[in-house]
Amino acid sequence: MEKLIRINKRMADLGLCSRREADSLIGEGVVRVNGKKAVIGQSVSESDHITVGKNIHADKVYLAYYKGRKIITHSPEKGEVDIASRLRKDYGITGVYPIGRLDKDSEGLMILTNDGRLTAPLLDSDNGIEKEYEVTVDKQVSNGFLRKMESGVNIEGYLTKPAKTKHKSLKTFTLTLTEGKKHQIRRMCAALGYQVESLKRIRIAHIEIGGLKPNQYRKLNKEEVQKLLELIKVRA
């Protein structure tokens, strides 16, 4: 008899999405097990066929989205607004979910999709996917500060991976990372005596935020999608 596991864990093991994202997608009714609509908390076996989308042939959607400040990426609490709610209310868009997170007080680029194959590869720091941020701090940025940010900062016992920086103005710089620990940039700056005043993600891999404004989105073009899939070694 095959071993049974919770569907959200199985979806995470398959690289379709995180467990929390799985529960959200199941709640939206877009997950199916052997062609039947899944329910939160159900058990599945390794031989069960899980699909995400209205059907196995559902068109894949890839969006670049500008998350504004105070908007929650996932799992909003009472009184909070999340990305899915804004998309549904403002554009009638459902069935896509954000890959990764930006904290409540940060803003900028997120990739939204219904293609669960992207989640694990894009979030795995071993894959070296670059994410570029524009950061403004509370005092003048020094060359020494930038060198330390580039070489690695000890945040509560963890040494961050090498990064890239570029000085933009008196208190603003860009930082390019290939990892994403919780509140990493804020913690890196704090460890070096700086406080972040604003934080905006402007690029993920080759995809740039461009002229998007908060709560605006655009569809990724064919070339952007193809390059993204090639980057994470996923077949089109």
Report, as residue numbers or ranges, the catalytic residues.
103
45 and 36 Cβ atoms separated by less than 8 Å: no
Q: How far apart are CA 183 and CA 188, in angstroms?
A: 9
Maximum C-alpha span of the chain: 65
Instruction: Give the number of residues written for the chain.
Output: 236
The answer to whether the CB of 201 falls within 8 A of the CB of 108 is yes
Phi, psi for residue 226 in degrees, rounded to 5: -60, -45
Q: Which strands, in side-by-side order, build the sheet including 50-52?
A: 36-37, 31-33, 50-52
How far apart CA 186 and CA 61 sit, in angstroms, is 32
32 in Cβ contact with 38 (< 8 Å): yes
Q: CB-based contacts of 145: which residues, under 8 Å, 6+ apart?
A: 192, 194
